[in-house]
Amino acid sequence: MQERLEQEEIKQRMKLVREQEREKEKEFRLKTKQEKKEYKRKKRRVSRYIFKRRLRRLGYELKTFDLNTVKRIFKWLVAFAENKDKRNNFIIISTNSLVMFLLSYFFIYVVSQFIIVWVAKSFEYETILFYYKVYYDIDTGDWTADSVKILYSMAPLTGLLLGMVFITIYSTFKNENGLLKLFFLWGFIHGMIMFFGGLLMGTLLNKDFGWVIAYLYYRDTGKMIFSILSIFALVAIGRGVSKSFLISGNSYFNYVDKSNRKLLLYSQVLIPALIGTTVLILLKLPNDLYYGSMDEALFEGLKLSTVILVLLPVIFTFASFEAIYFDEEPRRIRLLWKFLIFVIIILFLWRFGLSSGIEFR
């Protein structure tokens, strides 16, 4: 009897201890959750503060732009040009990033164009593949609601799908110090622009992807909602990839802090995106207005220009991140000659090889 009472007492004490441990664990989890929530709240406040401060600074610079501002910019350019190492690093990093920018775009664009040609065959449509578009060699009456919705949604959906695949691959290899991962990061941005940029400009100008929305019988209010959502999506994408571009600096540096952050922002992100977009816009100008129109070229140029909506949050949030230290393995900033030559050959072959078009019947 006495042993049974002792066993019961031991069980009760063990039960009490377990309950106390569960209560402590519960309190610890709750405290950790609150700390994480507070950290995220403070981080958002700091990011908003930095964004507003940089926006006010930009507004002030625009309002007070005068001869003294030009002199300051000129002095900065002279100092930058005189710093040989910094200048060379800037040129090499910009060129490498531009190569990956163009290479990733052509990969997604070529895949989407051949998918369109392949799907068009299922509708028994004859097509001609040019360097700036797929031309449907059919009568106007041959179009159906299904063919419009499917064919004009192929490129945006391909971009969206490949973009998600690319960002997954980049996330897997982002901590590696190779340069090829930038191909996937730029590819993700191109894919999102192909979808959301096409949706934005399509609904505003009633062209291309906008015809799909029109055939889904959305009224002006619905189109406006799609446009607003597209703008928010592109800005959110820019905010999301800002740190990814910062981490991509591990290809060249052992750390990214105030000393090299601005160099990385301009050389790895802004200059390649602006020059690359300009090259693509010029490349999309039709040489034969029988098969293409300047309105289509304008639409394509405006769609590509929506990269600005992605770049703006990158510019304003790039300085809000803390310094990142990678490792002590020596880095060497070198030009990717093979990729550069490869991209030049692709540009030449695509522009002049498809100037007369390839027929698919």
Residue 149 located in a structural domain: yes
Residue 27, domain member (yes or no): no
Q: Is residue 2 part of a domain?
A: no
Name the domain count of the chain: 1
Is there a domain that residue 144 lies in?
yes
Question: Does residue 8 lie within any of the structural domains?
Answer: no
* Residue 328 forms part of a structural domain: yes
- Whether 97 is in a domain gets the answer yes
User: Tokens representing 284?
Assistant: 């999309």
pLDDT in tens, the chain (361 residues): 666 666 677 667 777 777 777 777 877 788 877 877 777 777 667 666 666 666 666 666 656 655 666 666 566 556 655 566 677 888 899 999 999 999 999 999 999 999 999 999 988 888 999 888 888 888 878 888 888 889 999 999 999 999 999 999 998 988 888 788 999 999 999 999 999 999 999 998 888 888 888 888 777 788 888 899 999 999 999 998 988 898 888 888 888 888 788 888 888 999 999 999 999 999 888 877 777 778 888 889 999 999 999 999 888 888 777 778 877 777 788 888 999 999 999 989 998 888 888 888 7
267 is in which domain, residue-wise?
90-360
Cα four-point dihedral sign 193, 199, 204, 210: positive
Domain assignment of residue 13, yes or no:
no
The structure's pTM equals 0.80
Q: How many CB atoms lie within 10 A of CB 228?
A: 12
